[in-house]
Amino acid sequence: MEYRKLGNTTLKLSAISYGAFAIGGNMWGGNERKDSIDAVKASIDNGITTIDTAPFYGFGLSEEIIGEAIKDYDRSKIQLLTKFGLVWDGSNNVKGEHFFDAENNGKAVPVYRYSSKASIIKEVEDSLKRLGTDYIDLLQQHWPDPTTPIEESMEAAAQLIKDGKILAAGLSNADVTLLENAAKVHQPASNQVSFSMLNRSIQNDLIPYTLENNIGIIAYSPMERGLLSGKYFSNEKLKADDHRNGYFSQFDLEKVKIFLENITPIAEAKNASVAQLVLRWTTLQEGITVVLAGARNAEQAISNAAAMNFEISNEELAFINGELEKL
């Protein structure tokens, strides 16, 4: 495993980090608690020491599972990343802008984007309790809040750093303008954004800006929620309440299938899976600090970590990139 410095901080994160959205269960067809705990432990045991979660993932469940999984580990060797800014009835005073309705135990729960200073401070206290820790390594705004100036949100982050509740603060899903406005109060350490072989738009303007301003990029959905593993082109079926049933429809699935078939020989030559090749390719892209990969059991976690066990040559990179241009 490689460990990479995050932006202008002293934090060092594992190049492949654990993305804990799926273990929250909601929107992913449920989860098995023991499998989720085992996945977190296997990740840490295999060098994936950075764990990214959010209060919204399972309405607190993801953070609770992580807190349980890490309780016997040396906290100083684990980097906990969580977020603020998505609130729901019961989690906070519901204000801000309605974002979407999420399913929870068969009921539709309205979720709002809200990042006021008071709300952020309350969210952090709740997250600390669920995670069973007294500090968060990196706190990130989950989604931009059109009802609260980003300057107010960053004031809260700066205060939390001063209070020792968090070590660093960043944004998620932010464009260059939002990063610039945030920096007027506190320079964001990072920006967590969607990036994959099928979604490379951040290379146009966001990556140049973050490179120039020493802001780390945390890439989420590198596997496009499992599509780039190739297994959904076999007989594997998704549960009816799995959001990926609709998500995958945005892609030209036949072209994706052909692309994966064409790069399979590279993976096979390295005794690696296509999924591991995709993850490794993502870690090698300019400006990408760390890559988030989810795992719902120990086997998947171990496989994700093993993606760092091989190299991709310049010739192989050129071939892969050439095939991507055909999509």
Catalytic residues: 57
Q: Is the dihedral of CA 238, 242, 246, 248 positive or negative?
A: negative
Other beta carbons within 10 angstroms of residue 204's beta carbon come to 8
Q: How far is CA 229 from the centre of its chain?
A: 17
Judge contact between 23 and 63, C-beta under 8 A: no
- Closest listed residue to residue 40, CA positions, set 67, 66, 2, 79: 66
DSSP-derived secondary structure for 98-116 = EEEEEEETTEEEEEEE---
3-class DSSP state of 193: strand
Structure tokens at 293: 């990969």
Alpha carbon dihedral 193, 198, 199, 204, in 10-degree steps, equals 130
Rounded alpha-carbon distances, angstroms, from residue 83 to 21, 58, 102:
12, 13, 17
What secondary structure letter does DSSP report for 200?
A: -
With residue 121 as reference, give the H or E element that holds it. Answer: helix 117-131
